[in-house]
Structures are given as C-alpha cells and as structure tokens.
Amino acid sequence: MNAELTFDRDGLIEQIDIYKRLKQNGYLESAQKELESIERLLALVQQSHPTEFEALKARLAV
C-alpha cells in the first residue's frame, strides 16, 4: 500500500514567506522556530513530491 502525502502547497509557501519576513525584520528566534517547522514539512514533501520539494527549497533559499 503506497500512501501518498498530501500537503497544502500554498500554506507552505505562506509559511516560507512568513519565515523570510521574520528573519528580515530581526525576529531571529521566531524565524528559527518557523524554519524548523518548514524543514520538517519539507522532509515529508521530499519523499512523496520530489519536484515540489525542489521548487519549495529554492523558494526558501531566495
């Protein structure tokens, strides 16, 4: 049985944008917590949606 992960792509993009704003505005502790949450989700996305993972990882890096 192959259970594919479903995820909210738009929600994850919004979370990445929030992380960037927190970091840019100097809220480093909050940004770090947000980044940890994003990285956990990206690890799950990588397993079932490798193409999406690459796009989201690139967005995080920008």
pLDDT of residue 62: 81
Residues belonging to the chain: 62
Residue 38 neighbours by CB under 8 Å, 6+ apart: 12, 15, 16, 19, 60
pLDDT of residue 6: 78
Q: Rounded to whole angstroms, what are the CA distances from 24 to 15, 30, 37, 40?
A: 14, 11, 18, 22
Q: DSSP letter at 7?
A: -
CB 53 within 8 A of CB 40: no
Per-residue pLDDT of the chain (62 residues; tens, 9 = 90+): 344 567 899 999 999 999 999 999 999 999 999 999 999 999 999 998 999 999 999 999 98
pLDDT of residue 10: 94
- pTM, two decimal places: 0.85
* 3-state SS assignment for residue 49: coil
